[in-house]
Structure 1
């Protein structure tokens, strides 16, 4: 698709680009994503006390309105780091142990087709070593919510955690608990339910009380069944297919309860850099819990996975911590250095092309 790319001046350029390093490589990577077919990109970098931002492309394909550095967007699986942080805080407070079984907190919930919550720990939920089937991979779920016809019919449906678990548990587990690693969104549906059982409050309320409010993340929310994005925001686009060809659909409005604790949250790039910087600098977790979060397992891929957070070694040898997030119409990544002093968050308002990883490489490695 030909895009009338509108390149705009960074709206958050509080620090000159050269003050803390040259962002030219990042700018080039942002524009390369638009050239590759992404409708629009917004990125924010926090380094020390300075903040730099850039945008490229459009936020609205019909009007040509450019993306904004202040855009709200669906953070998707970046939500997992928030959920894991709350569970680790509860452990630090003595309310639970990560070695507790899922059965202890959710009796009888994880049963069927070889799944058994009596054999799975909370830690295994958080690091994806539980073996529980990912409900997003269920054929019925995909047909209902991820095809063009299914999405258009069901995009505003309200889904309960029980609905999502039902899709997962009608499939066999990937492996016995602890035997391997497989990313599964079902793990974080359960983790959010454990938070609610342990606190008596909605998991989103606990995220607000423990993370959003203390860090003053004014653009971050757990929207529940709210189908629209807060303003300012761009439109979100998808092919609603496994290919990058075919028609482009506006998928901005949808019910995020289909993601629940695995990816429901909304944020912006400035808030996400603030969150990951605070997390890695020890502002949200005691040293013991932060160390546990950063104890990673092998994923047989290009990164290792801890408790709701990934660690990747970039081509230049720099290690970054954070998470990617993909949901219909939105593709994001937020990463920070070990000391939390250099952070980046980027969002594409299209889900079929471009590489957020290339933008991370550009910022932290300068290429």
Structure 2
């Protein structure tokens, strides 16, 4: 789920306030690397994560850092809702090929799927699915992301829940499950196969895959832990499907978001559509959301949460600078740390 904008209204000095030892020894001029290095360990000591790691890229220069045991630069991990950016990219590519239109209704592609309980697929467009303005309830509210489901099962669960208000932003994983079904209907191939052909293979994302029903992570990987400390390294990814099943690496996510934002994956018109937030009232584009940092810089990306993993990717609008960090548990318990880390990376300053 996207980070709440209210969490970003924090002073830049939080980086040092949370790390007094670093502040005492900080030079007058602090580089992004030094500022980020002051925050990253706090994801473990203050944020409750067993371990944390990040990979930042500025053009051709990459910088890796880690804190805590049993976490590595090349580890495969579950990326949760970052899957949505991949699915949105595939849908926009299909639109650019005139194989579908964003103004198409769900009913045109999947007749009868969205009917009943106040929902009518004849009134829900693909654009509304992409921007989370469809009114579809989130099936994970009922399953808590622990029950393996087929896409039709996930949709049926969502339809039994009270719908959200149409045309208003309400983040719902059901939207992207339906989009995965649309991709299959239009192409005759699963969304995972289309993402592999259109994104993963062309960009050389060798650590990225859609595991379908495979519960084990590919090697190399560390361990993943639920909030209660239990080991959830093995997980049936059908709990999330097209809304969150992706397995990937830090380097692959940096490469993907850089390529997406610098125009290698979408024509200019479609990229502009992806970054337009009017439909979601500024909260979300299509598979991406913006965050305006205290220094005025806006970064684009997504986060992903699934049992045993929390991931965040953010990049400048031109894709030149990108940061991905992750922890090997469900969430960061101190909500100030994520915005502080983004601020440290993208808003270098003199302290």
TM-score by length of 1: 0.83
Question: Does the CA contact (< 8 Å) of 1:75 and 1:266 recur in 2?
Answer: yes
Q: What SS does structure 1 have at the residue aligned with 2:283?
A: strand
Moved over 6 A (4+): none
Q: Pick one of 138, 141, 150 that aligns with 1:137.
A: 141
CA deviation vs aligned residue, 1:220-263 (integer Å, no higher than 9, x gap): 11110111111111111112xxxxxxx41111111001101101
CA shift in 2, pair 1:100/1:299, >3 Å: closer
Aligned residue in 1 for 2:100: 96
Whole-angstrom CA distance in 2 between matches of 1:290 and 1:298: 15
Question: Does the CA contact (< 8 Å) of 1:26 and 1:366 recur in 2?
Answer: no
**Alignment of 1:334 onto 2:341:** no
Q: CA deviation at 1:299?
A: 5.7
CA deviation vs aligned residue, 1:118-147 (integer Å, no higher than 9, x gap): 000000000000010000112xx23xx55x
Q: What SS does structure 2 have at the residue aligned with 1:360?
A: helix
Structure 2 unaligned segments of length 5 or more: list them.
Answer: 1-30
Q: Pick one of 157, 160, 177 that aligns with 2:150.
A: 160
Structure 1 unaligned segments of length 5 or more: list them.
Answer: 1-20, 60-66, 147-153, 240-246
**Alignment of 1:322 onto 2:305:** no
Q: CA deviation at 1:159?
A: 2.0
Q: Pick one of 171, 174, 185 that aligns with 2:164.
A: 174
For 1:51-200, list aligned pairs within 5 A. 51-59=62-70, 67-138=71-142, 141-142=143-144, 146=146, 158-176=148-166, 178=167, 180-200=168-188
Whole-angstrom CA distance in 2 between matches of 1:365 and 1:333: 17
Q: CA deviation at 1:173?
A: 1.0
Question: Does the CA contact (< 8 Å) of 1:132 and 1:184 recur in 2?
Answer: yes
Q: Pick one of 273, 293, 317 that aligns with 2:274.
A: 293
CA shift in 2, pair 1:358/1:299, >3 Å: farther
Q: CA deviation at 1:112?
A: 1.8
Q: Pick one of 41, 44, 59 that aligns with 1:31.
A: 41
Question: Does the CA contact (< 8 Å) of 1:237 and 1:329 recur in 2?
Answer: yes
Q: What SS does structure 2 have at the residue aligned with 1:305?
A: coil
Q: CA deviation at 1:104?
A: 0.4
Question: Does the CA contact (< 8 Å) of 2:294 and 2:343 recur in 1?
Answer: yes
Q: What SS does structure 1 have at the residue aligned with 2:287?
A: coil
CA deviation vs aligned residue, 1:323-356 (integer Å, no higher than 9, x gap): 0101111111001101110001111101242443
CA shift in 2, pair 1:262/1:287, >3 Å: same
> Which structure is richer in relative contact order (CA contacts within 8 A, separation 6 or more)?
2
Q: CA deviation at 1:310?
A: 0.5
RMSD: 1.6
TM-score by length of 2: 0.87
Whole-angstrom CA distance in 1 between matches of 2:102 and 2:279: 19
CA deviation vs aligned residue, 1:261-308 (integer Å, no higher than 9, x gap): 1011011111001000000000000011001001114767xx721011
Whole-angstrom CA distance in 2 between matches of 1:334 and 1:33: 16
Q: CA deviation at 1:187?
A: 0.1
For 1:201-216, list aligned pairs within 5 A. 201-216=189-204
Whole-angstrom CA distance in 2 between matches of 1:365 and 1:121: 38
Q: What SS does structure 1 have at the residue aligned with 2:113?
A: coil
Question: Does the CA contact (< 8 Å) of 1:48 and 1:342 recur in 2?
Answer: yes
Whole-angstrom CA distance in 2 between matches of 1:343 and 1:298: 26
Q: Pick one of 205, 211, 224 that aligns with 1:217.
A: 205
Question: Does the CA contact (< 8 Å) of 1:23 and 1:366 recur in 2?
Answer: no
Aligned residue in 2 for 1:283: 264
